[in-house]
Amino acid sequence: MSFALVTGASKGIGKSIALELASRKTDLLLVARNEELLRSLSENIRNEYGVNCHYLSLDLSAPNAPLQVFNWCRSNGYDVNILVNNAGYGLSGAFDKYSLEEHLNMMQLNMNVVVEMTYHFLPDLKKHSRAYILNIASSAAYQAVPFLSAYAASKSFVLQFSRGLHLELKGTTVSVTCVSPGATDTSFVERANIGAKGLELAGKFNMQPAEVAKIAVNAMFKGKTEVITGFLNKVGAALAWLLPKKTIEKASAKIYQ
């Protein structure tokens, strides 16, 4: 029996990806911090979709947490053929508004955990006739974003890491896909402390997590390298490529300052 392992699965895009996979009769392993939410979601998935669903409550930003996840799977005989690296968050505002510890914690979760999870699970993924890695980045990955500087840079890392790994694994049975959502109706904006202008803009262009999840899972199973969700987000990424960097960065600064 093979499982899809989803990090950050208790809410938002991670939860919706779990539900989308469950609707396709995929057995699930869910990892997140909130045990109560995980327990409730797991019960709902088992009852509604009739698939196996197990969970592990864990702060993935803690030292050696990815290894704990891997050992949990090994000790329970959970064979993973789909790895979804979704867990992450942002910090909005002036860089020096936050402590160094806060920045490093975000960077640990957004970047290092993705690398560590991939490193631990890749050898087993290669043993499958078909296996998938799905990394969740952000539309912010395509340019510098003042007042979201470290977050945007961390998601750019996820995007570049995914692109490189996708080509490295050509010829193997493992496909790597990176999905970059834009504004999505999740708790991201609250945790990131997005200001009034950012909230107003997000409210106009928000996508629903279920819609993002469907796009992400479809792209993963099709073996696509990368996908930006939503037409306006695709336009934004194209403009970030075509227009002078300072123009894009100044516009972004006005939104998040």
SS3 120: helix
The H helix count followed by the E strand count for the chain is 11, 7
Query: Whole-angstrom Cα distance, residue 200 to residue 12?
Result: 19
Q: How many domains does the chain fold into?
A: 1
pTM score: 0.87
- Tokens representing 248 are 């894009």
CATH number of the domain that residue 201 is part of: 3.40.50.720
Instruction: Return the closest-CA partner of residue 12 out of 122, 86, 118, 109.
Output: 86
Instruction: Return the closest-CA partner of residue 110 out of 21, 8, 191.
Output: 8
Residues with catalytic annotation? 151
pLDDT in single tens digits along all 257 residues of the chain:
899 999 999 999 999 999 999 999 999 999 999 999 999 999 999 999 999 999 999 999 999 999 999 999 999 999 999 999 999 999 999 999 999 999 999 999 999 999 999 999 999 999 999 999 999 999 999 989 999 999 999 999 999 999 999 999 999 999 999 999 987 655 554 454 555 544 445 454 578 999 999 999 999 999 999 999 864 555 454 445 444 555 555 555 555 55
Its domain, for residue 232, covers 2-256
Residue in the structure block whose two tokens are 């891997």:
70
Angle at Cα 251 formed by Cα 247 and Cα 253, nearest 5°?
115
